Structure 1
Amino acid sequence: MDQHLRVFVTVVEKGNFSRAAEELHMTQPAVSQYIKLLEQTYGEQLLDRSNKYVRLNKAGEIVYAHAKEILGLYTKMQRLLDDLANRATGHLSIGASYTFGEYVLPHYIARLHEQFPLIKPSIVIGNSKEIAELVEGHQLDVGIIEGELQNNQLSIEAFAEDTMYVVASAQHRLAQQIDEVKLSDLEEETWIIRELGSGTRAATEKIFHSLSIKPKDVMEFGSTQLVKESVESGLGLTFLSHLAIRKESAMGLLKTIAVKDTPFKRKFSIVLRTSFKTKALEVFIDLLKEDPSLSTVIKRP
């Protein structure tokens, strides 16, 4: 049955039977037969078909969501069995929130490859909520998120601390001030913030609450890089990790602003769905915990 589900998922993700057949190294009639048998098994049509595309119907959406989880469990089970040979090898799917994933994770992956070259990592970057959901659905072996998260289905363990600042273009009038900026000045500025579900967005809302400020103008963007580019162009202020602005600060493009109750501290956390760990996952987690100072990791040659 796992092969039937694998074929079904591939057809859905490739959008038609011919591309799925090519991906699976099968003939198109064989792919069609697998889908037909799967539909007969469940007694439901799962796909709406045309000459150009296939689309999920309501029944197909249910099967697709569970098929992804089931196939993830099959893969994890096989890797655990392979680990009986006691070698750190094989595929490792890692998810990370934007700040950690884009500015810190590459340094860990380089060290992982150097020490354990038989481990083959794949990386997914998303906001903290998205990463946690993928781990919960067995589509990722491990997630790394920022900020706080409550989920009884997941194991969540903080392993490092992050520092966040109010950030402006180096040419911004508030960036020229030596003393702390007045809260009333912050309220008058345009703020560039991340989308809901982002750990950086949650931290931003916390700092707004703690300072009791309500900015008059807020723009919401879906990536840290877009936020930085907008702030650098003088569009407004933002609230970001020092990890995300290291290069721009060194180049004199962005500057942190002295504000009451900042810098703000938050945690990076490891997110797991199960207590069973492959050798590859164990060594990766050990690597994360080896040195809690992210700055030290980044600076290492």
Structure 2
Amino acid sequence: MDQHLQVFITVAEKQNFSRAAEELHMTQPAVSQYIRALEDSMGIRLLERTNKYVQLNKAGEIVYHHAKEILGLYTKMQNLIDDLTHKAKGDLKIGASYTFGEYVLPHILTDLQQQYPEIEPAVTIANTATVAELVTSHQLDIGIIEGEFKGKELIEENFAEDSMVIVVSANHPLARKEVVTISDLENERWVVRENGSGTREATENVFQQLLFLPKKKIVFSSTQPIKEAVEAGLGISLLSKWAVQKEIRNKDMQILPIKGLPFFRQFSMITKSRFQTKALEVFIELLRTSESLILRG
């Protein structure tokens, strides 16, 4: 049945039988046969077909969601059985929110690959809410998030502290002020992350801590364009010191001296099951010992 589900997932994602067949290295009639067999076993049609594409119907959406979860569990089960050989190897599906995923995780993966070359990591970078959802549905083995996580279904462990600062372009008028007031901050345009991200949560906490709300905001969905916007003079932002270390070192950005900052938050790892593959075990141990690397940023 797992092969039928894999074929179904690929057809649903490619929205086309021929493209799915190419992806799976199968013939198109074979793909069609797998889909018919799955629909027969379910007793209901799962795909709406046209000459140009195929699309999930309501029943198909239900099967697609659970098929992803089932295959994730199947893969985890197989990896746990393989681990009886006591060798860390195989797939490791990692999710990370943007700050950690873009600026910290690559350094940790370098150590992982040097020590365990047979582990094959696959990384998904998304906001905290999305990472948590993918871990919950077994599509990721582990998620690394920023800030507080309020879900009850997952196992959470804090493993390092991150410091966040308000940054401006080196050419910004505030960069030349010896004393920056709350009024200055309130009147600036703030470049912020979208709702659901750990960085946005931290930013809202700082607004509450300093007792102001900005009059103007512009929203971006990842850290890199925020840095580009700040450097170009579009506005100011609260960002992890890890994310802006190069810009600060190169004097393209400047940290504003604000009383009560930096703002500290936690990097946390989230997992779904207490049963862990050997690959996941060694990765978690690397995370637990990585704080000195993270804080150097």
Q: 1:67 maps to what in 2?
A: 67
The answer as to whether partners of 1:165 and 1:240 remain within 8 angstroms in 2 is yes
Distance in 2, Cα, partners of 1:207 & 1:297? 23
Does 2:105 correspond to 1:92?
no
Deviation for aligned residue 1:293? 2.2
Deviation for aligned residue 1:295? 3.8
Deviation for aligned residue 1:292? 1.8
Distance in 1, Cα, partners of 2:20 & 2:123? 23
Distance in 2, Cα, partners of 1:40 & 1:186? 62
Q: What are the superposed Cα offsets for residues 30-88 of structure 1, whole Å, 9 maximum, x if unpaired?
A: 11111111111212211111121111111111110010000000000000000000000
Deviation for aligned residue 1:296? 5.9
Counterparts in 2 of 1:183-202, with a 5 A limit? 183-202=182-201
Does 2:243 correspond to 1:232?
no
The answer as to whether partners of 1:9 and 1:68 remain within 8 angstroms in 2 is yes
Q: 1:252 maps to what in 2?
A: 251
- Partner letter of residue 138 of structure 2? H
The answer as to whether partners of 1:108 and 1:297 remain within 8 angstroms in 2 is no
Q: 2:162 maps to what in 1?
A: 162
Q: 1:52 maps to what in 2?
A: 52
- Partner letter of residue 26 of structure 1? M
Deviation for aligned residue 1:265? 0.2
Identity of aligned residues (%): 59
- Partner letter of residue 196 of structure 1? N
For structure 2, the residue ranges without an aligned partner over 5 or more in a row are none
Deviation for aligned residue 1:3? 1.3
Q: What are the superposed Cα offsets for residues 171-214 of structure 1, whole Å, 9 maximum, x if unpaired?
A: 111111223x1101111110000001110000000000111111
Q: 2:276 maps to what in 1?
A: 277
Does 2:17 correspond to 1:25?
no
- Partner letter of residue 236 of structure 1? G
SS of 2:269 mapped into structure 1: strand
SS of 1:267 mapped into structure 2: strand
Deviation for aligned residue 1:223? 1.1
Distance in 2, Cα, partners of 1:153 & 1:201? 23
The answer as to whether partners of 1:45 and 1:60 remain within 8 angstroms in 2 is yes
Deviation for aligned residue 1:28? 0.9
Deviation for aligned residue 1:151? 1.2
Q: 1:203 maps to what in 2?
A: 202
Distance in 1, Cα, partners of 2:296 & 2:107? 7
Distance in 2, Cα, partners of 1:2 & 1:152? 29
May I ask how many residue pairs the two structures share in their alignment?
A: 297
